[in-house]
Structure 1
Amino acid sequence: MNIARHIALIDELCFRPFPAERGPSDAGLGAPGHHVAILESGPGPGDGDPADAAVAVDDFEKGRDALYEVLASRWGDVGPFNLRTLLLRTEREDIPEPWAGLCARADMAWLWEVPGTARWVAVAVADRDPYDGIRLLAVVTDTVPP
């Protein structure tokens, strides 16, 4: 895991224009109002031993928390953003993207409003979807978290 490379990508996405349409990007996925960067990918469904997936989740959580240390030193300490609660809200509310997609994939994120950019950065481990691989994600958006 290359924390310096991940930080450099997050920094770039804080200033990169958002695409006009939803689609793949060099970082992962882009859409109007947000970028979703896949920082690391791990085992997916049918990739073998479930113990390997558990190890990957643990490693990605350590990476997420290492990113927290660097980003918190810049933008301040924050508490965890509970995506499980947000997921429950999707049953009765229209939650905007990228938040609806993120809460469907991850349980918690570290979340900052980036000074001087009108953008938000979230870092999360996406391990909830049993049909998808485990991923360390960075989301950069101008959509205020619900």
Structure 2
Amino acid sequence: MDIAQALTVIDRLCSAPLPRQHARTDTGTAGPGWAVAELQTSEDSWEDCSRRQQVREQYECDREALAARLAERWGPPQTFSLYSVLERTMEGEALAEPWASLSHHVVDLTVWRHEESGRWTGLGVSQWDAELPFQLLAVVTDQDPP
């Protein structure tokens, strides 16, 4: 992972106005009050389960390295589990985006709350299904976690 490039994308997300409608962006997806950037994407062929575990561990390490750099700027992060959000959406509760969608493919987020802007910034490792690629995601939103 290129940390400098990832930090540039995160800085751009944090400083840009959040969209008012759903859109595909040059780095990911966005919707009313949120943006998600795909910082890194793995290969998507998983015939070897041990290789899948190695890639997962590498993506977690990359997230931790990026979080350490952001913690130098913003202070220590919180860890926000998306498990209860997933349970609530599966029970039919309508929850705010991007939290509801993220809960279907991200276990937890490393998050910071920016009091001055009212925004949250988060980092997470995504995998939609066992045979699909891992992604390191950055999230910026003005929606509080549910």
TM-score of the two chains, using structure 2 as the length reference:
0.89
Taking every aligned residue pair, what percent have the same amino acid on both sides? 36
Tell me if the contact between 1:14 and 1:117 (Cα under 8 Å) persists in the aligned partners: no
Aligned residues: 145
Q: Is the 8 A contact 2:113 2:121 kept in 1?
A: yes
CA contact (8 A) 1:15 1:117 kept: no
Query: Could you tell me which residue of structure 2 aligns to residue 107 of structure 1?
Result: 107
Decide whether the 8 Å contact of 1:42 with 1:53 is kept in 2.
no
Contact kept? 2:78, 2:112, Cα under 8 Å: no
Match in the other structure for 1:63: 62
Contact 2:24 2:30 in 1 (8 A): yes
The equivalent residue for 2:16 is 16
Q: Within the alignment, does 1:82 sit opposite 2:81 as a pair? A: yes
1:1-146 aligned within 5 A: 1-44=1-44, 46-90=45-89, 91=91, 93-130=93-130, 132-146=132-146
CA distance in 2, matches of 1:41, 1:132: 10
Q: How far off is 1:76 after superposition?
A: 1.8
Offset of 1:144 from its aligned partner? 0.9
Instruction: Give deviations 1:20-60, integer Å, cap 9, x for gaps.
Output: 3212111111212111100000132x454233222211111
Segments of structure 1 that go 5 or more residues without pairing to the other structure are none
- 2:123 is paired with a residue whose SS is strand
1:84 is aligned with what amino acid? Y
Any conservation in 2 of the 1:43–1:53 contact (CA below 8 Å)? no
- Report the CA distance between 1:131 and its aligned residue: 5.7
Letter in 1 for 2:79: P
TM-score (norm 1): 0.89
What are structure 2's unaligned runs of at least 5 residues? none
Indicate the SS of the match to 1:107. strand
The CA distance in 1 between the partners of 2:4 and 2:115, in whole Å, is 20
In 2, the alpha carbon distance for the partners of 1:10 and 1:114 equals 13
